[in-house]
């Protein structure tokens, strides 16, 4: 009951402020939806911290409560999620852009890999979105999902946002179920707490349902691939991870790792070759049919390439923050960032990825987690909080609940600080806490045993 009251209080708070400031449409606004005055940010931060503390208390001190109230928790999750469906996006307006991209194909019969939303300036969602000058940089699976969602709501475009967010709620709910099933296999007895950590994580609720970031679909297919990996349905793992990567390309990093781990478990050479050939054929067919009607040559990846090169000062990666704070000349700053990323950090990522790939001591889940961490830290020039959501399933499956909690709270605290200082908090406080925890563990496990001897 305590959790229920606090959840409703938090959602109600956001609900009132959201409609007071914006209503459901941003057509008449001149500022992005996530830009608020300082007073709003203070209250926003307070609400988030209260919500996090409640989750912490319930998870760590009332584990029995979770096991005895599964039905009530499921109902509460559905209620909270459905409320978030009808609340305007708070921390990002990317959903307006993905709707505009979907409408390019479904309403205007254009290929969004060739045409940008700004070419239809009178469209109600183009008016509300940023990055309207860029073509589609998402994968073809998301292209078709956006196409069908916007086409299904073409007769009532004012409700398109709700259609997108309702779809996000349904997919996220399936992810919650998969988390339960995977943890039930990996760590029997821990599935309720693990599912709770995922389902009620405010970071996930805000980004996947309230903001409808399409990462939720990539993560769903990723978890589905992990599910079949855990349950030893090896011929379904690689195809699902490929589909996941065709939503947003980052989960393609998991494909070689899963392939290596699966091949290692096959005993005979003939079966290994058969497995590789079948997956090569399935992968080719999935990619071919996904791109078949929308392939635009090199132009298909034009926006993705530009997106990977754009350097935004507020989202500077940890390695570039010192330059952001000291170098005032923009051209010099961009040159330094481009040089460092191209010749130092991105090559380091590929080296680290290969070492991680051939490491025989780590499990598939640990390798996947390390690959994504290296990608975020070394490969990306800009890092937004929601990028780190890619790590959440792996942290849960590896039973790293403390790390998940710390990552969640630092990400949420960084939201009101849309500048490099805020991301300094995100990048420095979290590693500092994790290093402290590591030193404490080493002291307890090794130093204590040494003294006892």
> Could you read off the pLDDT of 92-109 as tens digits, one per residue?
778 888 999 999 999 999
- DSSP annotation string for 178-201: HHHHHHHHHSTT-HHHHHHHHHT-
CB atoms closer than 10 angstroms to residue 297: 9
| 52-65 mean pLDDT | 60
Distance CA 44, CA 34 (A): 11
Query: Helix 94-106 vs helix 160-186: angle between axes, to the nearest 10 degrees?
Result: 110
Residue 316's DSSP bridge partners are 382
Residue 88 CA to residue 25 CA, distance in Å, equals: 8
Measure the CA–CA gap between 408 and 55, rounded to whole angstroms.
11
In the prediction, which pLDDT does 440 show? 63
Beta bridge partners of 295: none
Six-digit token string for 80:
């909270």
- Provide mean pLDDT across the span 364-388: 87
Average pLDDT, the chain: 79
Closest to 235 (Cα-Cα) out of 295, 275, 277: 275
CB 146 within 8 A of CB 99: yes
Long-range contacts of 155-161 (CB under 8 A, 24+ apart): 157/124, 157/125, 158/25, 160/99, 160/103, 160/125, 161/24, 161/95, 161/96, 161/99, 161/212
Is residue 293 over pLDDT 80? yes
Over residues 170-209, the pLDDT tens digits come to: 999 999 999 999 999 998 988 888 888 898 888 888 889 9
Six-digit token string for 376: 């975020």
Q: Is the per-residue pLDDT at 428 higher than 80?
A: no
Asked if 319 contacts 345 with a C-beta cutoff of 8 angstroms, the reply is yes
Alpha-carbon distance of 192 to 183, in angstroms, equals 9
Q: CB under 8 Å to 107, separation ≥6 — which residues? A: 123, 150, 151, 154
| Residue 213 three-state SS | coil
How far is the C-alpha of 262 from the C-alpha of 408, rounded, in Å?
32
The residue among 237 and 126 whose pLDDT is bigger is: 237
- Output the 3-class SS for 99-128: HHHHHHHHCCCCCCCCCCHHHCCCCCCCCC
Whether the pLDDT of residue 16 is over 50: the answer is no
* Residue closest to 12 by CA, chosen among 92, 83, 91: 83
* Whole-structure pTM value: 0.85
């Amino acid at each position: 009951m305590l959790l229920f009251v606090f959840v409703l209080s938090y959602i109600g708070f956001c609900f009132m402020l959201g409609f007071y400031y914006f209503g459901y449409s941003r057509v008449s606004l001149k500022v992005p939806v996530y830009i608020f005055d300082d007073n709003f940010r203070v209250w926003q931060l307070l609400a988030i911290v209260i919500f996090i503390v409640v989750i912490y208390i319930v998870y760590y001190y009332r584990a029995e409560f979770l096991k005895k109230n599964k039905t009530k928790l499921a109902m509460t999750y559905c209620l909270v999620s459905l409320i978030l469906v009808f609340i305007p996006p708070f921390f990002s307006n990317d959903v307006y852009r993905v709707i505009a991209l979907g409408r390019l194909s479904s309403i205007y019969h254009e290929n969004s890999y060739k045409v940008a939303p700004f070419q239809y300036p009178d469209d109600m969602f183009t008016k509300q979105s940023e990055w309207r000058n860029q073509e589609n940089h998402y994968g073809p699976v998301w292209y078709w999902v956006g196409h069908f969602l916007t086409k299904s709501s073409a007769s009532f475009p004012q409700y398109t946002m709700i259609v997108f967010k309702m779809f996000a709620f349904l997919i996220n709910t399936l992810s919650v179920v998969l988390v339960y099933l995977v943890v039930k296999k990996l760590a029997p007895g821990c599935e309720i707490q693990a599912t709770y950590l995922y389902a009620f994580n405010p970071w996930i609720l805000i980004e996947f349902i309230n903001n409808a970031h399409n990462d939720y679909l990539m993560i769903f297919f990723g978890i589905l691939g992990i599910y079949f990996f855990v349950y030893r349905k090896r011929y379904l793992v690689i195809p699902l991870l490929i589909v996941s990567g065709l939503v947003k390309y980052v989960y393609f990093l998991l494909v070689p790792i899963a392939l290596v781990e699966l091949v290692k478990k096959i005993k005979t050479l003939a079966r290994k070759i058969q497995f590789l050939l079948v997956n090569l054929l399935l992968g080719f067919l999935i990619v071919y049919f996904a791109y078949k009607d929308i392939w635009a040559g090199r132009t298909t990846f034009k926006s993705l390439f530009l997106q990977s090169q754009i350097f935004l000062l507020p989202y500077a990666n940890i390695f570039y923050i010192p330059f952001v704070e000291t170098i005032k000349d923009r051209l010099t700053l961009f040159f330094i960032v481009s040089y460092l990323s191209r010749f130092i950090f991105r090559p380091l990522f590929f080296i680290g990825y290969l070492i991680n790939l051939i490491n025989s001591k780590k499990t598939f889940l640990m390798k996947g987690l390390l690959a994504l961490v290296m990608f975020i830290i070394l490969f990306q020039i800009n890092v937004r909080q929601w990028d780190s959501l890619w790590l959440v399933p792996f942290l849960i499956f590896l039973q790293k609940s403390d790390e998940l909690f710390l990552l969640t709270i630092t990400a949420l605290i960084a939201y009101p600080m849309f500048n490099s200082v805020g991301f300094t908090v995100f990048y420095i406080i979290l590693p500092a806490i994790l290093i402290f925890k590591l030193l404490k563990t080493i002291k307890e496990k090794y130093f204590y045993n040494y003294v006892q001897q």
